[in-house]
A and B are shown apart, each in its own frame.
Chain A
């Protein structure tokens, strides 16, 4: 009898409950918002170092409290809605960006799963899963949600009665039309290899050490996905939507205070999401069995985050027509060829 007891006990504990998911959602919201804030600090520091500057230095030790200062500024700034703007859409657009970014995060694995210790009142013994909702079409859902997030800039630009905003939203449409094909096609090849859309399956398929990472089998798809990911999060070299030198601030021209901040949080959350997808799909993901596995995936995510800043410091950005040219005439054919080759290799 004792043996059955031991066997059934872990299963009872590891049941995903509604409370656990809610706790997970709160953790994601809190931690990712904090990381997004911290990300602005890291970005400023890294860009500064690459340009041989110091970056923020004077608020707190090494300028660390600059985040707090920025937060206070964003929260207390006047929320201006332009006179001729479509007020409702103008006010809702930033929420779309931020919300979709966090919804996308609900289907990717963030942090290891754990059980809240028994001594905690009320919540003791609740199992908190690593993925808030492990749906079996995870990849599709996340990509779809991130794509839906572009409605934020699109609507924001069109609703604000500002010519720079209009140009910004036109560029959003261009960008959207260009990269979305590449994202889908590039990630299709790994999906064919793994045979599943769930991130957990991706992780399990690559659990055999570095040699089993999908990047070795699909280097082209990896590069393509990375390029499309940069476009998806509208980072340099594809930051056409709000390039200051050309369109003032693009879709965000008329925004101020926290509404502008929401676009920012959304962008940083998207950066983290893309980094997580790239790490899980191509770089082996996490190893759920040991703590080191989680450390490794955090390192991988940090590397991708750093890569985005690094690229921003190094490369000039492309024109909208160059982006379309790149996506439709170069990347898409390569992605299709990659899929065909993958399919042939799988069949043989």
Chain B
């Protein structure tokens, strides 16, 4: 069953089939017949066979469902919203954030706090940027609003901590410059759609 089937909430359009459960026995004679039938029919052995089959499959055919979590992990969806990442421009290696402050503004739990200043070239640079992950609800609005695809959600979901407040600094979230070639674009909230190129229209400059 695919994701679309699960998400379909329009009751009546799905292909449900009713299982034939037989009819409830009426009267002593029918009850007795049912009991007698079930006694000799061996339905219970079908149940035994099912569990034995699962055991054989699990032991000898590697059909084990257990994931030994800290040692092996299931792949997560690329749209998963975990601890944020700050991406860099692939060409120049400088960070994408332009310090517009939109993410700080939109954050519904007020957990982004940032400050900007002019650098020596009179360009705006981020001087301070922290996210309090104790407050963040991972709604993804910051990633969606960001005009530069700078702040995105990353794949790190193991964020249990001993304190309620857990701050992350800009530098911590920024892709390390030596790992730039490994930087992944984010497919979730705020990402450009796959057919973005087709949708771009030329901005008329002259009237």
Contact = CB atoms under 8 A, between A and B. Distances in A.
Interface in A290-313: 310-311, 313
B21 interface: no
A49 B68 contact: no
- Residue of B39, B52, B55 contacting most chain A CB atoms (<10 Å): B55
A310 B35 CA distance: 24
A50 B52 contact: yes
A49 B65 contact: no
Contacts of B47: 314-315
B59 interface: yes
Interface stretch (A51-59, A93-101, A145-153): A51-59
B159 interface: no
Contact of A57 (B48, B63, B68): B68
A330 interface: yes
Given A315-B44, A330-B35, A52 B51 contact: no
B66 A50 contact: no
B65 A52 contact: yes
Contacts of B44: 314-315
Nearest to B48: A314
Interface string A31-52: 0000000000000001001111
Interface residue tally of chain A, by bracket?
10 to 19
Given A57-B68, A315-B44, A50 B35 contact: no
Contacts of A53: 58, 64-66
B57 interface: yes
B66 A49 contact: no
A50 B54 contact: yes
A310 B55 CA distance: 10
A301 to B, nearest CB: 19
Contact of A310 (B39, B51, B59, B68): B51
A314 B50 CA distance: 8
A49 B44 CA distance: 20
A302 to B, nearest CB: 16
Per DSSP, are chain A's interface residues mostly helix, strand or loop, or mixed? Answer: helix
Contacts of A315: 44, 47-48
A49 B35 contact: no
Contacts of B66: 52-54
Interface in B26-56: 35, 39, 44, 47-48, 50-52, 54-55
Nearest to B50: A314
A49 B39 CA distance: 28
Contacts of A57: 68
Contacts of A314: 44, 47-48, 50-51
B68 to A, nearest CB: 7
Interface residues of B, number: 18
A49 B55 contact: yes
A57 to B, nearest CB: 7
B48 A311 contact: yes
B64 A51 contact: no
Given A57-B68, A330-B35, A52 B48 contact: no
A277 B145 CA distance: 74
A50 B55 CA distance: 4
A46 B65 CA distance: 15
Contacts of B58: 49-50, 52-53
A10 B50 CA distance: 53
B52 A52 contact: no
Nearest to B39: A330
A313 B64 CA distance: 16
Nearest to A329: B35
Contacts of A313: 51
A311 B49 CA distance: 10
Contact of B63 (A46, A52, A310, A311): A52
A311 B58 CA distance: 18
Nearest to A325: B35
Contact of B48 (A46, A51, A310, A330): A310
Contacts of B52: 50, 310
Interface of A: 46, 49-54, 57, 310-311, 313-315, 330
Given A49-B58, A51-B65, A53-B65, 6 more contacts: A49-B55, A49-B59, A52-B66, A310-B52, A314-B51, A315-B47
6 contacts: A49-B59, A50-B55, A52-B58, A52-B65, A314-B51, A330-B39
The 8 A-B residue pairs whose C-beta atoms are closest, nearest first, are: A52-B65, A50-B51, A54-B66, A52-B58, A314-B51, A314-B47, A49-B55, A313-B51
